[in-house]
Amino acid sequence: MEGSLTRPAPTGIGGLLRNIGPGVVVSGSVVGSGELLVTTRMGADVGFVFLWGVIVASVVKYFIQLELGRQCLLHDDTTIAALDRVPGPRLLKTSWVAWLCAIGYFSVFVAVIGILGSVGGLLASVLPAIHYKIWAAFVFLLVVALLWRGLYQDLEKMVTVLVAAFSLVVIGCLAVLQGTPHAMDLTEIASGFTFAMPPDGAFIALALMGSVGATAVELFMYPYWVREKGYPRFIGPDDGSSQWRERYRGWMRVLAMDAGVCTAI
C-alpha cells in the first residue's frame, strides 16, 4: 500500500455514518431466512419468553464481527488468510483450520443453488413466459458480472436501498399489527426479559442463536467487504508512528459504528 492512499478518519456521528458500508452489505445478506422464518417460528412456539436470546445473540456477534474487522485493519488480509496463520498441521501448505472452514463453506454453495432457484421462481411468477431455470441462470450471470468487475460501491448502494426498504416495511407491518387483536403490549415484551426458556424450546433457541444476526458465513465474509471499502488502505501499514496509531483508532471507530449499524438492523 502506498502512503498516498492513507487518509484521516472522519469525526462526528455524521462523518462516521457517511463512511460505513461493509456492515450494511452484510445486513443485506443476513436479513431473510433467519429473521423471517426462525424468529417467527420461535414466537409461535414459545411466545416472547426468549426475546432476550435474540438480543444476546446479536450482541455477541457484534463483538465477533468487530474483532474480525480489527484483524483486517491491522493485517489487510482476508479471513481465510488470517486462519492460515493458525499454528498446527498443514496440508498443501495450508493450515488445517483454513481447510476446515473451506470444507464447511462448501455447504453454503449448495444453499446458494436453492436461493438461485427461488429467485428464478419469483421472477417466473412475474413474467411466466420465461422458464424459472432461465431466470436463475440470468441472475447467476448478473451476479458474476457484478462481482467480476468489482463494483463494490454500486453493490453497497443497491443493498442500502434494499435494506432500507425492508426495514421500513417491517416497521410498517408492526405499526399495522398494533391496530389488530394481535397487538403487542408492554407486559408481553417485559416477559421476554426474564431470562427463562421453556423446556421444549432448547432446539429452537439454538437455531435462533445461530441464524439471527450475522451468521458464520456473513462473519466470515465481513473482512472481504472491509477490504473492498478500503479501510486498511486508509490506515496504511504499521510504521510505529503516532500518525498511524491515530489513523488506526479513528478508523476503528468507523468500524465499530459500521458493525453497530449491522447489529441494529
Task: Give the model confidence (pLDDT) of 156-166 as tens digits.
Answer: 888 888 888 88
Angle at 38 between CA 25 and CA 217, to 5 degrees: 35
pLDDT band at 121 (very low <50, low <70, confident <90, very high): very high
The predicted pLDDT at position 159 comes to 86
Average pLDDT over residues 71-95: 89
Give yes or no for a contact between 265 and 167, defined as CB atoms under 8 angstroms apart.
yes
Using CA atoms, how far apart are residues 147 and 221, in angstroms rounded to an integer? Answer: 14
Residue 198 pLDDT exceeds 70: no
Domain ranges in the chain are: 7-264
Read off the pLDDT of residues 209-257 as tens digits, 9 standing for 90 and up.
Answer: 777 766 777 888 899 999 999 999 999 998 889 999 999 999 999 999 9
For residues 199 and 257, which has the higher predicted lDDT (pLDDT)?
A: 257
Residues 6+ apart with CB under 8 A from 71: 77, 82, 223
Query: With b meaning 16 or more CB within 10 Å and e meaning fewer, what string describes 153-166?
Result: eebbeebbeebeeb
pLDDT above 60: residue 33? no
The alpha helices in 78-215, defined as continuous H runs, are: 79-83, 96-126, 132-148, 152-177, 186-191, 202-211
Kindly calculate the radius of gyration of the chain based on its CA atoms and give it in whole angstroms. Answer: 21
Per-residue pLDDT, averaged over 71-83, amounts to: 90
The predicted pLDDT at position 20 comes to: 92
7 DSSP 8-state letter: -
C-alpha cell at 195: 431470562
Helix axes 216-229, 96-126, angle to 10 degrees: 90
Neighbours of 23 (CB within 10 A): 29
What is the sign of the dihedral through the CA atoms of 175, 178, 184 and 189?
positive
176 falls in which pLDDT band (50, 70, 90)? Answer: very high
